[in-house]
Amino acid sequence: MLTVRAPATSANLGSGFDVFGVALERPADVVRVSKADETTIEVTGAGSQYIPEDPEKNTVGAVADALDAPAHIEIDKGIRPASGLGSSAASAAGAAVGLNRLYDRGHTREKLVPIAAKGEAVVSGDAHDDNVAPSIMGGFTIATDDGVTQVDASIPLVACLPDIVVSTRDARRVIPEQASVEQLVETVGDAAMLTTGMHRDDPELVGEGMYDSVVTPARAELIDGYEAVRTAALDAGATGVTISGAGPTVIAACHERNQRAIGSAMLETFAHNDVDAQVYQTRIGAGATVF
Protein backbone atom coordinates (compact mmCIF):
# COMPACT_ATOMS: atom_id res chain seq x y z
CA MET A 1 0.00 0.00 0.00
CA LEU A 2 1.10 3.54 -0.80
CA THR A 3 -0.15 6.67 0.94
CA VAL A 4 -0.30 10.04 -0.84
CA ARG A 5 -1.07 13.44 0.66
CA ALA A 6 -2.67 15.54 -2.07
CA PRO A 7 -3.06 19.26 -1.29
CA ALA A 8 -6.04 21.52 -1.78
CA THR A 9 -5.68 24.06 -4.54
CA SER A 10 -6.96 27.45 -5.57
CA ALA A 11 -7.60 27.93 -9.27
CA ASN A 12 -8.05 31.05 -11.41
CA LEU A 13 -6.68 33.53 -8.82
CA GLY A 14 -8.88 36.14 -10.43
CA SER A 15 -7.04 37.05 -13.62
CA GLY A 16 -6.04 33.51 -14.66
CA PHE A 17 -9.40 31.86 -15.37
CA ASP A 18 -8.99 28.16 -16.25
CA VAL A 19 -5.20 28.67 -16.43
CA PHE A 20 -3.65 29.64 -13.06
CA GLY A 21 -3.57 27.50 -9.95
CA VAL A 22 -1.68 27.14 -6.66
CA ALA A 23 -1.18 24.28 -4.23
CA LEU A 24 -2.03 25.07 -0.60
CA GLU A 25 -0.12 23.79 2.43
CA ARG A 26 -3.48 22.98 4.02
CA PRO A 27 -6.04 21.42 3.87
CA ALA A 28 -5.36 18.14 1.98
CA ASP A 29 -6.78 14.74 1.07
CA VAL A 30 -5.01 11.51 2.00
CA VAL A 31 -5.26 8.78 -0.64
CA ARG A 32 -4.14 5.18 -0.05
CA VAL A 33 -3.77 2.74 -2.94
CA SER A 34 -3.14 -1.00 -2.99
CA LYS A 35 -3.14 -3.40 -5.95
CA ALA A 36 -6.34 -5.33 -6.66
CA ASP A 37 -7.99 -7.31 -9.46
CA GLU A 38 -10.57 -4.58 -9.93
CA THR A 39 -10.95 -1.03 -8.69
CA THR A 40 -12.88 -0.43 -5.50
CA ILE A 41 -13.22 2.83 -3.60
CA GLU A 42 -13.78 3.72 0.04
CA VAL A 43 -14.37 7.34 1.07
CA THR A 44 -14.27 8.84 4.57
CA GLY A 45 -13.89 12.35 5.98
CA ALA A 46 -15.39 15.73 5.11
CA GLY A 47 -18.50 15.40 2.95
CA SER A 48 -17.84 11.72 2.28
CA GLN A 49 -21.57 10.98 2.41
CA TYR A 50 -22.01 12.95 -0.81
CA ILE A 51 -19.18 11.27 -2.74
CA PRO A 52 -20.02 8.15 -4.79
CA GLU A 53 -17.86 5.06 -4.29
CA ASP A 54 -18.82 3.65 -7.70
CA PRO A 55 -15.57 3.75 -9.77
CA GLU A 56 -17.52 5.01 -12.78
CA LYS A 57 -18.78 8.03 -10.84
CA ASN A 58 -15.70 8.89 -8.76
CA THR A 59 -12.71 10.88 -10.04
CA VAL A 60 -10.21 8.23 -8.95
CA GLY A 61 -11.97 5.49 -10.90
CA ALA A 62 -11.29 7.30 -14.17
CA VAL A 63 -7.65 7.76 -13.15
CA ALA A 64 -7.20 4.06 -12.35
CA ASP A 65 -8.75 3.18 -15.70
CA ALA A 66 -6.53 5.63 -17.61
CA LEU A 67 -3.40 4.16 -15.99
CA ASP A 68 -4.64 0.56 -16.38
CA ALA A 69 -3.98 0.24 -12.65
CA PRO A 70 -6.83 -1.52 -10.81
CA ALA A 71 -6.61 -0.89 -7.08
CA HIS A 72 -8.42 -0.59 -3.80
CA ILE A 73 -8.40 3.16 -3.19
CA GLU A 74 -9.12 4.72 0.19
CA ILE A 75 -9.79 8.45 0.25
CA ASP A 76 -9.75 10.36 3.52
CA LYS A 77 -11.28 13.72 2.60
CA GLY A 78 -9.71 16.72 4.28
CA ILE A 79 -11.15 19.00 1.59
CA ARG A 80 -14.89 19.52 1.55
CA PRO A 81 -16.59 18.88 -1.81
CA ALA A 82 -18.03 21.96 -3.56
CA SER A 83 -15.63 24.21 -1.68
CA GLY A 84 -13.68 25.86 -4.50
CA LEU A 85 -10.52 24.27 -3.08
CA GLY A 86 -10.07 21.54 -5.68
CA SER A 87 -11.62 18.71 -3.66
CA SER A 88 -12.21 16.36 -6.58
CA ALA A 89 -8.89 17.36 -8.14
CA ALA A 90 -6.95 16.47 -4.99
CA SER A 91 -8.42 12.97 -4.94
CA ALA A 92 -7.64 12.51 -8.64
CA ALA A 93 -4.12 13.90 -8.20
CA GLY A 94 -3.42 11.66 -5.21
CA ALA A 95 -4.65 8.60 -7.09
CA ALA A 96 -2.61 9.46 -10.19
CA VAL A 97 0.62 9.93 -8.25
CA GLY A 98 0.04 6.88 -6.07
CA LEU A 99 -0.99 4.48 -8.84
CA ASN A 100 1.83 5.67 -11.10
CA ARG A 101 4.30 4.74 -8.34
CA LEU A 102 2.48 1.55 -7.28
CA TYR A 103 2.44 0.13 -10.81
CA ASP A 104 5.76 1.70 -11.85
CA ARG A 105 4.18 3.37 -14.89
CA GLY A 106 7.07 5.84 -15.13
CA HIS A 107 5.08 8.98 -15.96
CA THR A 108 6.53 12.36 -15.03
CA ARG A 109 4.49 14.65 -12.81
CA GLU A 110 3.64 16.79 -15.84
CA LYS A 111 2.43 13.75 -17.80
CA LEU A 112 0.17 12.80 -14.90
CA VAL A 113 -1.72 16.11 -15.11
CA PRO A 114 -3.94 15.23 -18.13
CA ILE A 115 -4.48 11.76 -16.66
CA ALA A 116 -5.76 13.23 -13.40
CA ALA A 117 -7.84 15.72 -15.39
CA LYS A 118 -9.79 12.81 -16.85
CA GLY A 119 -10.97 12.17 -13.31
CA GLU A 120 -11.99 15.82 -12.96
CA ALA A 121 -14.17 15.43 -16.04
CA VAL A 122 -16.28 12.87 -14.17
CA VAL A 123 -17.38 15.61 -11.76
CA SER A 124 -17.34 18.82 -13.79
CA GLY A 125 -18.07 17.46 -17.26
CA ASP A 126 -14.82 18.90 -18.67
CA ALA A 127 -11.17 17.90 -18.24
CA HIS A 128 -9.58 21.04 -16.76
CA ASP A 129 -5.94 21.12 -15.61
CA ASP A 130 -6.03 24.25 -13.44
CA ASN A 131 -6.63 22.36 -10.17
CA VAL A 132 -4.96 18.99 -10.81
CA ALA A 133 -1.76 20.65 -12.06
CA PRO A 134 -0.84 22.38 -8.78
CA SER A 135 -2.09 19.46 -6.67
CA ILE A 136 0.36 17.18 -8.49
CA MET A 137 3.25 19.57 -9.16
CA GLY A 138 2.99 22.06 -6.31
CA GLY A 139 3.68 25.78 -6.32
CA PHE A 140 2.07 28.13 -8.85
CA THR A 141 1.12 26.54 -12.16
CA ILE A 142 0.12 27.86 -15.56
CA ALA A 143 -1.82 25.18 -17.46
CA THR A 144 -2.41 25.56 -21.21
CA ASP A 145 -3.01 23.24 -24.15
CA ASP A 146 0.77 23.13 -24.60
CA GLY A 147 1.44 21.80 -21.09
CA VAL A 148 2.12 23.08 -17.59
CA THR A 149 4.64 25.66 -16.38
CA GLN A 150 5.43 25.55 -12.67
CA VAL A 151 6.93 28.15 -10.34
CA ASP A 152 8.11 27.39 -6.79
CA ALA A 153 6.36 30.23 -4.99
CA SER A 154 5.65 30.58 -1.26
CA ILE A 155 3.10 33.38 -0.92
CA PRO A 156 1.11 33.48 2.37
CA LEU A 157 -2.63 33.00 1.85
CA VAL A 158 -5.84 33.02 3.85
CA ALA A 159 -8.68 30.83 2.58
CA CYS A 160 -12.13 31.36 4.10
CA LEU A 161 -14.71 28.67 3.36
CA PRO A 162 -18.32 29.71 4.07
CA ASP A 163 -21.08 27.21 4.73
CA ILE A 164 -22.47 27.75 1.24
CA VAL A 165 -22.56 25.25 -1.62
CA VAL A 166 -21.70 26.43 -5.13
CA SER A 167 -21.67 23.73 -7.80
CA THR A 168 -19.04 23.92 -10.53
CA ARG A 169 -21.76 23.71 -13.16
CA ASP A 170 -23.66 26.67 -11.67
CA ALA A 171 -20.43 28.67 -11.40
CA ARG A 172 -19.69 28.08 -15.07
CA ARG A 173 -23.26 28.84 -16.13
CA VAL A 174 -23.10 32.45 -14.86
CA ILE A 175 -19.88 33.33 -16.70
CA PRO A 176 -20.43 36.14 -19.25
CA GLU A 177 -20.23 35.04 -22.86
CA GLN A 178 -18.56 38.28 -23.95
CA ALA A 179 -15.98 40.72 -22.63
CA SER A 180 -14.92 44.14 -23.88
CA VAL A 181 -11.51 44.83 -25.36
CA GLU A 182 -10.81 47.05 -22.35
CA GLN A 183 -11.55 44.16 -19.98
CA LEU A 184 -9.33 41.81 -21.96
CA VAL A 185 -6.43 44.27 -21.90
CA GLU A 186 -6.90 44.81 -18.17
CA THR A 187 -7.00 41.05 -17.50
CA VAL A 188 -3.82 40.40 -19.51
CA GLY A 189 -2.03 43.11 -17.54
CA ASP A 190 -3.21 41.72 -14.21
CA ALA A 191 -2.25 38.16 -15.17
CA ALA A 192 1.23 39.34 -16.18
CA MET A 193 1.60 41.20 -12.88
CA LEU A 194 0.50 38.16 -10.86
CA THR A 195 2.92 35.88 -12.71
CA THR A 196 5.79 38.28 -12.09
CA GLY A 197 4.81 38.41 -8.42
CA MET A 198 4.93 34.63 -8.16
CA HIS A 199 8.43 34.55 -9.65
CA ARG A 200 9.54 37.18 -7.13
CA ASP A 201 7.57 35.79 -4.16
CA ASP A 202 6.07 39.25 -3.85
CA PRO A 203 2.63 39.33 -2.12
CA GLU A 204 2.03 42.91 -3.25
CA LEU A 205 2.35 42.13 -6.96
CA VAL A 206 0.41 38.89 -6.61
CA GLY A 207 -2.40 40.68 -4.80
CA GLU A 208 -2.62 43.44 -7.40
CA GLY A 209 -2.73 40.82 -10.15
CA MET A 210 -5.70 38.99 -8.60
CA TYR A 211 -8.18 41.62 -9.81
CA ASP A 212 -10.72 40.46 -12.39
CA SER A 213 -13.68 42.35 -13.86
CA VAL A 214 -15.18 39.55 -15.97
CA VAL A 215 -15.68 36.20 -14.20
CA THR A 216 -15.38 37.12 -10.51
CA PRO A 217 -18.23 39.68 -10.37
CA ALA A 218 -20.62 37.17 -11.94
CA ARG A 219 -19.67 34.42 -9.52
CA ALA A 220 -19.74 36.77 -6.54
CA GLU A 221 -23.52 36.85 -6.87
CA LEU A 222 -23.56 33.18 -5.79
CA ILE A 223 -21.75 33.92 -2.48
CA ASP A 224 -23.74 35.77 0.20
CA GLY A 225 -21.63 38.54 1.68
CA TYR A 226 -18.72 38.24 -0.78
CA GLU A 227 -18.17 41.97 -1.38
CA ALA A 228 -18.28 42.76 2.33
CA VAL A 229 -15.83 39.94 3.09
CA ARG A 230 -13.49 41.10 0.34
CA THR A 231 -13.51 44.65 1.69
CA ALA A 232 -12.94 43.46 5.27
CA ALA A 233 -9.95 41.34 4.19
CA LEU A 234 -8.39 44.24 2.30
CA ASP A 235 -8.92 46.56 5.26
CA ALA A 236 -7.20 43.97 7.49
CA GLY A 237 -4.09 43.93 5.30
CA ALA A 238 -4.75 41.57 2.38
CA THR A 239 -2.89 42.55 -0.79
CA GLY A 240 -5.54 40.96 -3.00
CA VAL A 241 -8.78 39.00 -2.64
CA THR A 242 -10.79 36.87 -5.05
CA ILE A 243 -12.96 33.78 -5.33
CA SER A 244 -11.09 30.49 -5.15
CA GLY A 245 -11.96 28.35 -8.15
CA ALA A 246 -15.71 28.08 -8.60
CA GLY A 247 -16.27 29.21 -4.99
CA PRO A 248 -17.54 29.65 -2.40
CA THR A 249 -14.10 29.90 -0.72
CA VAL A 250 -12.72 33.43 -0.69
CA ILE A 251 -8.93 33.57 -0.91
CA ALA A 252 -6.63 36.41 0.09
CA ALA A 253 -2.94 36.98 -0.64
CA CYS A 254 -1.05 38.72 2.13
CA HIS A 255 2.07 39.13 4.21
CA GLU A 256 2.41 36.49 6.92
CA ARG A 257 2.17 39.06 9.70
CA ASN A 258 -1.41 39.90 8.64
CA GLN A 259 -2.83 36.39 8.28
CA ARG A 260 -4.54 36.18 11.66
CA ALA A 261 -6.20 39.59 11.37
CA ILE A 262 -7.39 38.84 7.84
CA GLY A 263 -8.84 35.48 8.83
CA SER A 264 -10.68 36.99 11.78
CA ALA A 265 -12.07 39.81 9.64
CA MET A 266 -13.37 37.39 7.01
CA LEU A 267 -15.01 35.13 9.60
CA GLU A 268 -16.63 38.04 11.41
CA THR A 269 -17.98 39.53 8.19
CA PHE A 270 -19.52 36.27 7.03
CA ALA A 271 -21.06 35.95 10.51
CA HIS A 272 -22.58 39.41 10.14
CA ASN A 273 -24.24 38.09 6.99
CA ASP A 274 -25.56 35.07 8.93
CA VAL A 275 -23.12 32.70 7.22
CA ASP A 276 -20.97 30.25 9.18
CA ALA A 277 -17.43 29.80 7.87
CA GLN A 278 -14.04 28.32 8.61
CA VAL A 279 -10.66 29.77 7.83
CA TYR A 280 -7.28 28.33 6.82
CA GLN A 281 -4.11 30.32 7.40
CA THR A 282 -1.96 28.73 4.73
CA ARG A 283 0.48 29.47 1.91
CA ILE A 284 1.53 28.14 -1.49
CA GLY A 285 3.13 24.75 -0.89
CA ALA A 286 4.29 21.44 -2.31
CA GLY A 287 2.41 19.05 -4.58
CA ALA A 288 1.27 15.49 -3.87
CA THR A 289 3.64 13.68 -1.52
CA VAL A 290 4.09 9.91 -1.32
CA PHE A 291 4.68 8.34 2.10
Identify residue 218 by its one-letter amino acid code: A
CA 142 to chain centre: 13
Name residues whose C-beta falls within 8 Å of residue 61's C-beta, 6 or more positions apart in sequence: 39, 41, 54, 55, 119, 122
Distance CA 50, CA 257 (A): 37
- With b meaning 16 or more CB within 10 Å and e meaning fewer, what string describes 47-62? eeeebeeebeebbbbb
Q: Which residues carry out catalysis?
A: 120, 168
Distance CA 57, CA 91 (A): 13
Distance CA 291, CA 278 (A): 28
Cα 207 to Cα 148, 158, 236, 246, distances in angstroms: 22, 12, 14, 19
